[in-house]
Amino acid sequence: MGFRFQSDHEGDSQSHQTPPDPSASGVPASSSTASKAAGSPVAADQTVIDAAWDLYFRGELAAAADLLGTIVDPTHGDRLQLLGLVLHDLGQPYEAADAIEQASLIRPVRDEVRIALASCYAQLRRIDLARELYLQLALPRKLPAPLMLQVAAGLEAIDSPQLAMQVCQWITEQDESVAQAYYDMGFYSARSGHPLYLTEALTHRALQLDPANVHYRIGLVSLLVQLDRDNEAYQAFAKLAPSDIAKVTCVSCLGRIADMLDRQGHPPLSSACRTQADRLRVPKRTTANVDPLNDPLNASPADVARADVARADVARADVARADAARADHPTDSEPSQ
């Protein structure tokens, strides 16, 4: 899960206090003092952090991590926060959590960074800690909607869809115009075992707010097919342009819709859906992406959170297999006990 937010050099008054104006005391600032300040290790570190932020926002994570490693003061709070985000996005939850926890000992960390920390805890299977941190973030209801959606996604990823649904409800109570909150609430509703008519109603609401959203519409079509309402499903699908099929990222939905289109007598459209599904069906996708309407990959932030946890599970399994192999075949450097 990537976390994007305003970097400290873009206006965070918490981390950058305005220095006192020397002229206020009647003492002019000397050029030598200004030179020393500009060339000080602190100023140099901040310059490096600013450059690392730029790399991070461009998605150049490895380069950002390397640059942060050159900072003179390794305990610099801003460095540790950014390093935690970079390591989280690189799929290194243990190292990311360590960096963020160190940063929290120096100064309060940003909400976005705390969300990343909770995500790390989830990947490390410290589920109670992850849930507690997510709830600490959500309960005050002060986070902006995009961050609340990330919290909801994180809660669903640790098998707390009811809590995720509640977080989405809080979003809509504060701002009824957030379409993603309604769509995600429908997803979490289905995951919680509620009747699918509730998911349908919430998906319709999301489409009312964002009628051009292809993923919402595909989700609705897929749900209607599952409910054996082919005629309504086709009517909803017909509002899409043929070129929109290339934007669909849900393999299961495409297959389901293709079958419906065959039954409705539209083989060219059905073929286009199957072609897109074949294009998406690649080995690199190993995690199931389940949405209420069965898995549009980017229909919900929850997909990212679940993928993070799944990748961590795979990594732990790989380590366990490697440990078992070493136990079965001890080397000279690793004697058997």
- Mean pLDDT (whole number) for 28-34: 36
Of the candidates 33, 6, 4, the one whose C-alpha atom is nearest the C-alpha of residue 19 is 33
Q: Across all residues in the chain, what is the average pLDDT?
A: 79
pLDDT value at 287 more than 90: no
Per-residue pLDDT of 293-303, as tens digits, reads 444 334 445 55
Q: Which amino acid is at 182?
A: Y
pLDDT band at 45 (very low <50, low <70, confident <90, very high): confident
Of the candidates 286, 50, 65, 295, the one whose C-alpha atom is nearest the C-alpha of residue 187 is 295
- SS3 call for 252: helix
- SS3 call for 291: coil
Contact 162/194 with Cβ under 8 angstroms? no
**What is the distance between the alpha carbons of residues 310 and 27, in angstroms, rounded to a whole number?**
61
Beta bridge partners of 331: 334
CATH H superfamily, domain 160-310:
Tetratricopeptide repeat domain (1.25.40.10)
Q: List Cβ neighbours of 138 (8 Å cut-off, separation of 6 or more).
A: 148, 151, 152, 155, 167, 170
Top CATH class of 47-140 equals mainly alpha
Q: What is the 3-state secondary structure of 117-144?
A: HHHHHHHCCCHHHHHHHHHHHHCCCCCC
Q: List Cβ neighbours of 141 (8 Å cut-off, separation of 6 or more).
A: 148, 170, 174
pLDDT band at 17 (very low <50, low <70, confident <90, very high): very low
With tokens 């003179």, the residue in question is 72
pLDDT for the residue numbered 41: 58
Beta bridge partners of 308: none
Encoded tokens for 215: 């993923």
User: CA of 12: how far to CAs of 130, 146, 254, 272, in Å?
Assistant: 27, 19, 45, 49
**What is the distance between the alpha carbons of residues 306 and 119, in angstroms, rounded to a whole number?**
10
**What is the distance between the alpha carbons of residues 131 and 238, in angstroms, rounded to a whole number?**
41
What is the residue extent of each domain of the chain? 47-140, 160-310
> CATH topology of 47-140 equal to that of 160-310?
yes
With tokens 């990823």, the residue in question is 157
Per-residue pLDDT of 246-286, as tens digits, reads 999 999 999 999 999 999 999 999 999 999 999 998 754 33
Of the candidates 95, 49, 99, 104, the one whose C-alpha atom is nearest the C-alpha of residue 71 is 49
pLDDT band at 337 (very low <50, low <70, confident <90, very high): very low
